[in-house]
Amino acid sequence: MRGLGTGARQVLKAGSTAAAALTALGLLTSGCATGGTGARDEGPAHDADTVAAAPTPSASVSASASASPAQAAKRVDAVKLIQDDPKVSASVKGDLKPCVGDEYPVDVSYGELTGGSASDIVVNVMTCGDAVGVGSYVYRRQGSGYQNVFKAEEPPVYAEIDRGDLVVTQQLYEKGDPVTYPSSEEVITYSWATTHFKADSRTRNNYSNAVGGTDTATPDAG
């Protein structure tokens, strides 16, 4: 599977390389995970609905290692956050089931994206078998709960925090592309603009048709 670039975006890779990538990242156990670590905790949405969050023993998450003026993130039940969110599609909720025991394919990260008083949360929902990202969401602290301020639900998709920006990677397929070899990918960088995320830049990576060929990156200012 061609790479997504850097860091945790490699979890989008399906096929024979998915297991190795997940092992290296430590995101999933037996092909699944209850949560992510570090500064990758956000999820997209564009409205003001508030979703309650509660602690859970099965969410393997941690606060961002980077310094931030926001309060340290508290562990949340990412699965409940997704299931209780009216902005998350029924298909994503229906597919969000334990892979092994009570282990869910959910990667959770905490970090500062919106300049709020508490850390923001990024949640990536994946499939159990091949770790394909089916939904990415960013939650902002609102009162005693969390507000969904960003979502992307066109798989394969993966969101992460990069130096205070939200970076979303979307793999693109053309007719006849095998799941392990998408034709290209688009990487979009977002920044927070008072009440919502705005796209600052887009990079299109077109893959070579030849096996083992060199990828070609085509920047596109957004």
Does the pLDDT at position 56 exceed 50? Answer: no
How far CA 103 is from CA of 5, 74, 139, 144, in Å, comes to 27, 20, 22, 26
Mean of the pLDDT values across residues 167-189? 85
Q: Is the residue at 177 inside a domain?
A: no
Does the pLDDT at position 77 exceed 90? Answer: yes
Does the pLDDT at position 158 exceed 90? Answer: yes
Q: Is the residue at 218 inside a domain?
A: no
Q: Is the residue at 26 inside a domain?
A: yes
Residue 124 in tokens? 């990536």
Q: Is 71 in a helix, a strand, or coil?
A: strand
Mean of the pLDDT values across residues 159-185? 87
The number of beta carbons lying within 10 Å of the beta carbon of residue 137 is 30
Q: Is the residue at 33 inside a domain?
A: yes
Query: What pLDDT does residue 117 have?
Result: 86
pLDDT-derived band at 73, boundaries 50, 70, 90: low
- Out of 58-62, 78-82, 157-161, 201-205, least confident range: 58-62
Range of the domain at 130: 7-164
Q: Is 39 in a helix, a strand, or coil?
A: coil
Number of domains in the chain: 1
Query: What pLDDT does residue 64 have?
Result: 38
DSSP readout, 93-149?
HHH---SBTTB--EEEEEE-SS--SB-EEEEEEE-TTT--EEEEEEEEEETTEEEEE
Query: What pLDDT does residue 166 have?
Result: 98
The mean pLDDT of the chain is 73
